[in-house]
Amino acid sequence: MIDARIIDKLKEIVGPDNVAAEIQDLLCYGYDATQMEFLPDAVVHPADTAEVAAVMKLANQERFPVFPRGAGSGFSGGALPKGGGIVLVTTRLNRILRIDTENLIAEVEPGVVTEQFQQEVEKLGLFYPPDPASLKFSTLGGNVAENAGGPRCVKYGVTRDFVMGLEVVLPTGEIIRTGGETYKGVVGYDLTRLLCGSEGTLGVITKIIFKLLPYPEAKKTMLTIFDSIDGAAKAVSTIIGNKIIPTTLEFMDHATLKCVDRRFKMGLPESARAVLLIEVDGDRELIERQAARIQELVKPLGLVECKVAKDAAESEALWKVRRLVSPSLRDVNPDKYNEDIVVPRSKVPDVIRRIEKIQQKYDIPIVNFGHAGDGNIHVNVMIDKEVAGQQEKAHEAIREVFRAALDLGGTMSGEHGVGLSKAPYIPLELSPVQIATMQAVKHALDPNNILNPGKMFPA
Amino acid sequence: MDKKTQHTEALKRVEQELKKCVKCGACRANCPAFSAFQREPAVARGKVALAQHILKGDIGLDDQTYLNMSKCLLCGSCVEKCPNEVPTDEIVIAAREALAEQRGLTTFHQAVGRVIKNRRMMTFGAFAASILGPLFFRKVPQTSGLRLRFPLPFIGNTRHIPGIARKPFLDRHPEVIPGEPGKPRIVFFVGCMTNFVYTEIGEAALALFRHLGCTVIIPKDQQCCGLPGMSGGDLQTVRELAERNLAALERHQADYVMTACATCGGALHKFYPAVVGRRNPELAARLKAIAEKTVDAAQLLQQLGLHPEETGAGEALRITYHDPCHLRTRAITRQPRELLTATPGVELAEMEGADRCCGLGGTFNVYHYGSSMAINEAKSRAIMASGASVVATGCPGCMMQLSDGLKQHGQKTRVMHTLELLARNLRR
Ligand SMILES: Cc1cc2nc3c(=O)[nH]c(=O)nc-3n(C[C@H](O)[C@H](O)[C@H](O)COP(=O)(O)OP(=O)(O)OC[C@H]3O[C@@H](n4cnc5c(N)ncnc54)[C@H](O)[C@@H]3O)c2cc1C
Ligand code: SF4
Ligand code: SF4
């Protein structure tokens, strides 16, 4: 499909050093955090919008697929070149174009790493809240394309809520702007929202205008330990029911706590069955009051212990429990399927109970933790791929977990997206008409099915 | 690629370690090689993937592999931050060993041999001789890591190389310098850089531990730690050196093995048991015993109760501190800072990114001098921005790299070892 002639043309567009067709380069752009692997035919590193547009035009002329890629930290295989074609990497599109302290907006290129952007705006006393756990290495383009979320989303919302406008190279190579720099704006369809979470299937994002906030004056972190899951789940609805929206409400179940404790000896009390990591931020006096009120509210709910951080170092120590979850899981089993279902907040205990049953039925460990504040639970199905039959069992279990989430009024994925991993399950959640509507949009924008083909919808 | 004709034994030894990588990409945040090259084959995840594909037989131990595997500073930053504890540094060493076995080109002595054969390197040889003096190559033994550090194949005349000491440190002192009875007995593992170039580090270490009443033992038969050889994949040489060092260090009854070079410390503390021990199980127990006794000088000084505030006042200095990777990854970051700030006259101004690699990375600097200095660029700028007149650090390798970068910026900032600053008020 991609021959020497096309490689030469690509080199003309982006320069010879920015096209790689060596087997080793191809191998290194064929994986992501799903650990699936597909070999592209070439890897292209454009430096600006014009180059991206030229690559897309060529792809339409020559009919080869293009797979946009940020850092390749995706959990659903969105950046993987299944079926071959070229991987278009945004690493060189890495400039922060401006930070406007008067209008509280910033414009960036998509290859900027999330944390680097946060640090730059924070130097000016500003705040970009979306904080996926991958923020030290994921790109802002990848965050927008996956509509990434994180612990702070309870209060602040997800990536989409901070995107005001985009510059996009359409699959056919035309360049458009969507949205703009004003908070209000109702002229035409909201293409910005359409592009957020489109997983690189509707256009290559080449510039992003973000909304910023003033950096909160202070924050306060608490680790609350409960003697039952129900207690912890009740705590979530009680706090929010009492009109306090914490920045963060992170949840860890008993299985998760056991993993962390076994490996890192956190010294959690015996009777701990669930933990909530709660953080509030904002005005110093306000958060003191909120923190005190939260402690009052959770006390009758089977609270075993509440640790309140006095300073940044203590806060970091409390966060450590949460951060250690990921590395500890491997002790349960070497391989994991990491799903991220969402249910309405009040349904968290129900879904956990359903998962408990699924776990017993299939006899494979399932460890749950995540963002209880918005009902987004990371369901980790732990298996050993080398044991025959376990993968199949895991797939069955996952299907049931998705059903449980959907039955309770939720969704299959809150953050990680569909990509390749969840495409087979899409009909569980979307009706044929919904799927057809989405595919009509895709077809209208990408008549030759050039951009990130094979993603999102079942083949 | 035919699997049978590939010498992948070294990689097979790390097969289980390779499986731990989940391709999350977290290493992209910490890898200095990635920051320089900005391409995935340079990052830890890429190198792990390539190693996996070598074992599968998808790619060979060829030029391309050689180039990609050379893009690693063995700094351990990826390992420190990897959620799954993937030892990419050890994996890269294994790949380099496999490459050396397969191609037989990159062994230690052949590297030196190439220098003499290659015209460009000969040019450098003349240049080196002019500044280093004719005695240089005679004084530095074949097995010294400096042999690999100095005959740099792609070096330009911009490289600032420190002078060579007239008399190596090991020749200056008796083997045993007795201290007070009942006080700790310390074996000093000196290392090539201190022995041949920065002898003042050795003198400072001696002064400080004698000040504490310790008996300091400097085995005359100690060798290069072998890390430059390891970094070239020449594990046979490393094994020989490790065995000779074991013999030298075990010969004395001692409480500690002390190093003032982060790299040597990293070798003794980590790479000996991990890499040499894995490859040569018969040495494993002895290597582990030495590793457990190995401590960094600053760490030990603090542990033994050095109180720099009691050593008299010195000239007022604004300093900044650079974390050598091979101390940082062993969690030795606090101790040197605490000692330095307690030293009268010393004011510590932290630079931005003190914990980032300086870019030396053993032989990385040899093959990728441009990238090495590109990594160093941020470091030089951070040092300048700190407004310090002295940059302190705990590794003579870093000292050389930092001086080089600063000199290229026309800076007069002095580069000193932590121990030199701690000792400066003692000797008055
Ligand atoms: C350890 C770890 C923790 C994580 N934690 C979270 C978390 O807390 N919350 C969360 O939401 N996610 C999380 N993720 C998933 C992942 O990091 C996010 O989805 C992230 O947004 C992906 O960014 P990326 O740059 O790696 O994108 P990639 O993986 O490279 O690509 C992701 C998708 O975006 C598309 N894309 C990338 N750039 C562009 C562009 N410029 N234009 C158009 N399409 C583009 C790709 O085609 C692909 O479909 C985590 C991943 C890991 C490994
Ligand atoms: S080496 Fe570690 S940090 Fe890097 S991708 Fe593998 S598991 Fe992740
Ligand atoms: S050891 Fe250092 S240079 Fe090598 S892969 Fe790890 S972080 Fe990168």
Q: Tell whether A25 is within 8 A of chain B (Cβ).
A: yes
| B304 close to ligand 3 (CB < 6 Angstrom) | no
| Domain spanning B3-104: CATH 1.10.1060.10 | yes
A139 close to ligand 1 (CB < 6 Angstrom): yes
Say if ligand 1 is within 6 A of residue A138 CB.
yes
- The B-side interface with A (CB below 8 A) comprises 19-20, 22-29, 38-41, 45-46, 49-50, 53, 58-59, 64-65, 68, 83-85
- Confidence band (pLDDT; 50, 70, 90) for B134? very low
Per the CB < 8 A criterion, the answer to whether A197 and A413 are in contact is no
| pLDDT band, very low/low/confident/very high, at B110 (cuts 50, 70, 90) | low
ipTM above 0.90, yes or no: yes
Q: How confident is the model over A64-95, as pLDDT tens digits? A: 999 999 999 999 999 999 999 999 999 999 99
CATH architecture of B311-427: 3-Layer(aba) Sandwich (3.40)
Q: Cα–Cα distances in Å, from A419 out to A5, A35, A398, A425?
A: 30, 13, 16, 11
Ligand 2 closest atom vs CA B26 = 3
Which domains does chain A possess?
4-89 (3.30.43.10), 96-214 (3.30.465.10), 218-327 (3.30.70.2190), 332-416 (3.30.70.2740)
Q: What pLDDT is stored for residue B153 in this prediction?
A: 33
For range B354-373, the mean pLDDT:
84
Question: What does pTM read for this prediction?
Answer: 0.92
State which ligand 3 atom lies nearest to the alpha carbon of B73. 3
A326 CA closest ligand 1 atom index: 1
Is B311-427 in the same CATH topology as B3-104? Answer: no
pLDDT digits (tens, 9 = 90+) for B298-314: 999 999 999 888 877 77
Looking at the predicted structure, is the pLDDT value of residue B120 above 50?
A: no
Domain limits, chain B: 3-104, 311-427
* pLDDT of A417 higher than 70: yes
3-state secondary structure chain B: CCHHHCCCHHHHCCHHHHHCCCCCCHHHHCCHHHHHHCCHHHCHHHHHHHHHHHHHCCCCCCHHHHHHHHCCCCCCHHHHHCCCCCCHHHHHHHHHHHHHHHHCCCCHHHHHHHHHHCHHHHHHHHHHHHHHCCCHHHHCCCCCCHHHHCCCCCCCCCCCCCCCCCCCHHHCCCCEECCCCCCCEEEEECCHHHHHHCHHHHHHHHHHHHHCCCEEECCCCCCCCCHHHHHCCCHHHHHHHHHHHHHHHHCCCCCEEEECCHHHHHHHHHHHHHHHHHHCHHHHHHHHHHHHHEEEHHHHHHHCCCCHHHCCCCCCEEEEEECCHHHHCCCCCHHHHHHHHCCCCEEECCCCCCCCCCCCCCCHHHHCHHHHHHHHHHHHHHHHHHCCCEEEECCHHHHHHHHHHHHHCCCCCEEEEHHHHHHCCCCC
Q: How many CB atoms lie within 10 A of CB A284?
A: 11
Cα nearest neighbour of B66 on chain A: A24
**In this structure, which residue's CA is closest to atom 1 in ligand 2?**
B45
**Of A167-181, A318-332, A337-351, A401-415, minimum mean pLDDT range:** A318-332
Q: Is the pLDDT of residue B150 over 60?
A: no
Nearest CA in chain B to A329: B84
Question: Do the chains contact at B22 and A71, CB–CB below 8 Å?
Answer: no
- Contact across the interface for A134 and B25, Cβ inside 8 Å: yes
Count interface pairs A-B at CB distance under 8 A: 73
Cβ contacts of A129 within 8 Å, gap of 6 or more: A152, A153, A155, A156, A157, A162, A213
All residues at 6 or more sequence positions from A365 whose CB lies less than 8 Å from its CB, including other chains: A255, A332, A333, A359, A381, A382
| A151 Cα nearest atom in ligand 1 | 8
Contact at CB, A35 and B22, closer than 8 angstroms: yes
Centroid of ligand 1 to alpha carbon of A408 (angstroms): 27
A116 close to B (CB below 8 A):
no
What pLDDT is stored for residue B128 in this prediction?
A: 44
**Res B346 pLDDT > 70:** yes
